[in-house]
Amino acid sequence: MFTVATFAALVLLGFAVGAFGTLVGAGGGFVLTPVLLILYPADSAATITAISLVAVFWNAASGSIAYAWQRRIDYRTGAVFAASTLPGAVAGAVVVQFANRRFFDAVTALLLSGLAVWILVSGTTEPNPVSRSGRSKRHLTDRDGKSYDYEVPLAQGAVFSVGVGFISAFLGIGGGVIHVPLMVGLFGFPVHIATATSHFILAIMSGASTLTHVALGSFMQGHGLRRAASLSIGVVAGAQLGALLSKRVPGHWIRQLLALGLIALAVRLGLSVF
């Protein structure tokens, strides 16, 4: 049964997910998917990921508008990485149709744990770019006048993005939770540029994944469409708050918040599996 109380609860959940997801540049799917798995144990993995990806799309689109106003999006890099995610995103949305729920839950918990450890470890060392050759120089100045100078390994990033697209669509986590650590820890992006550009990539990738789920009928189970719409209303508003907070939160705090959120959800989801 889908009641007014259910609608209100999902809108509030979406708002919280949107604010936190945009703050850390991850789109909120890494939070929302585990929560949905716990709330709706009878739903298929495909339905859960489809609902999550709709919310991720609206979160990313809303957050991207805010970050565009702040002038923190690296559009050249984002366009290349986003295009590279598309084949994997479509494939992941198709493959998840055949996934067993218990297996899906376990894989999600393990991935969240691994990402949390990686973020905490990479945050204690200097970025270690994949290669110094074939890197494009970037210079961005945001609306507050802060300048960012860094280099981008476009070819390596494009290759990694194919895998990110698949994993993200398969698990319904949107990809930002993987792209941001990659961009910061491996490629040497400034944290605030990585979070903003990640949102731009997310909007394109999650949109493609959502359309694939629509074509495959993933929303037909239960109240999938109503849940997705309710969550989306909340994340659009929450994303604006998250982008505003990102201007006031130091980069290392964002990294730690991301890791703590991953650990908490991995533990809770792991308990429900094992």
Tens digits of pLDDT across the chain (274 residues): 778 999 999 999 999 988 887 777 666 777 788 888 888 888 888 888 888 888 888 888 888 998 899 999 999 999 999 999 999 989 988 998 888 888 888 887 887 788 778 777 765 444 444 445 568 889 999 999 999 999 999 999 999 999 989 988 888 877 777 788 788 878 889 988 998 998 899 899 988 888 888 888 877 666 778 888 899 999 888 888 888 887 787 767 777 777 777 787 777 767 766 6
**61-82 as b/e, with b when 16 or more CB fall inside 10 Å?**
bbbbebbbebebbbeebbebbb
pTM: 0.78
The two structure tokens encoding residue 193:
């540029």
> Would you kindly state where each structural domain of the chain is located, as residue ranges?
4-273
Confirm if 174 and 29 have CB atoms less than 8 A apart.
Answer: yes
**What's the pLDDT tens digit per position in 51-110?**
888 888 888 888 899 889 999 999 999 999 999 999 998 998 899 888 888 888 888 788
The CA-atom distances, in angstroms, between 84 and each of 80, 158, 200, 211, 240 are 6, 5, 13, 17, 27
The tokens describing 112, both together, are 């969240």
| Residues 43/228, Cβ–Cβ less than 8 Å | no
